[in-house]
């Protein structure tokens, strides 16, 4: 598969600078890297972004994630490998990524409350920014048909 065009974030350098600044802020938010990588991977799986799933697995392994857990992210509810904190982040990721799947309240109070029980406001901010940034990556990559394994910055 060949991309339709160069990634828009590479075409417009100021866009890449903004993305990099948000990414830097996420990693300063006090959330363990393994959790932010799980968040990125799960949102990318939901959105079917092969480039981001590939990058998510690669980055999670750099954060010392195990194959056993990576193979189970898509079925995290049934898998015994995740902590309550990780489950709360994954549930928030799914709710915030699938906004249109619910009528009324997009992110249910129960999902929010569980996440807020495990993370402070700064950490929740980092997780929400990672979810939003991942959804941006997913949409850019899916639209330009970025192949898995491609690097763009």
Mention every residue, 6+ apart, whose C-beta is less than 8 A from residue 65: 34, 37, 38
In a domain, 76, yes or no: yes
In a domain, 22, yes or no: no
List pLDDT tens digits, range 94-121: 999 999 888 778 899 999 999 999 999 9
List pLDDT tens digits, range 42-86: 999 999 999 999 999 999 999 999 999 999 999 999 999 999 999
In a domain, 68, yes or no: yes
pLDDT at 148 (0 to 100): 87
In a domain, 56, yes or no: yes
Helix (H) or strand (E) segment spanning residue 97:
helix 84-97
pLDDT at 151 (0 to 100): 64
Tokens of 131: 């979810």
**How many domains in the chain?**
1
Local confidence band at 41 (pLDDT 50, 70, 90 cut-offs): very high
pLDDT at 152 (0 to 100): 54
In a domain, 2, yes or no: no
Residue 107 domain boundaries: 33-142
Say which CATH number the domain at 85 has.
1.20.1290.10
Is pLDDT above 90 for 122? yes
To which residue do tokens 């990559």 refer? 141
| Whether the Cβ atoms of residue 133 and residue 18 lie closer than 8 Å to each other | no
In a domain, 105, yes or no: yes
Exposed e or buried b per residue across 95-121, where buried means at least 16 C-beta atoms within 10 angstroms of its C-beta? bbbeeeeeeeeebeeebbebbeebbee
């Amino acid at each position: 598969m060949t991309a339709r065009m160069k990634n828009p974030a590479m075409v417009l350098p100021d866009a890449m600078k903004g993305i990099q600044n948000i990414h830097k802020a996420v990693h300063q938010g006090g959330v363990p890297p393994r959790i932010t990588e799980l968040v990125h991977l799960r949102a990318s799986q939901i959105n079917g972004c092969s480039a981001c799933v590939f990058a998510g697995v690669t980055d999670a392994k750099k954060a010392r994630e195990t194959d056993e857990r990576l193979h189970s992210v898509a079925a995290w509810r049934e898998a015994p490998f995740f902590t309550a904190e990780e489950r709360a982040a994954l549930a928030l990721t799914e709710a915030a990524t699938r906004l249109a799947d619910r009528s009324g309240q997009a992110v249910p109070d129960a999902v929010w409350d569980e996440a807020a029980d495990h993370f402070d406001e700064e950490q929740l901010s980092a997780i929400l920014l990672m979810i939003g940034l991942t959804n941006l990556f997913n949409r850019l990559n899916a639209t330009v048909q970025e192949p898995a394994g491609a690097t763009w910055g």
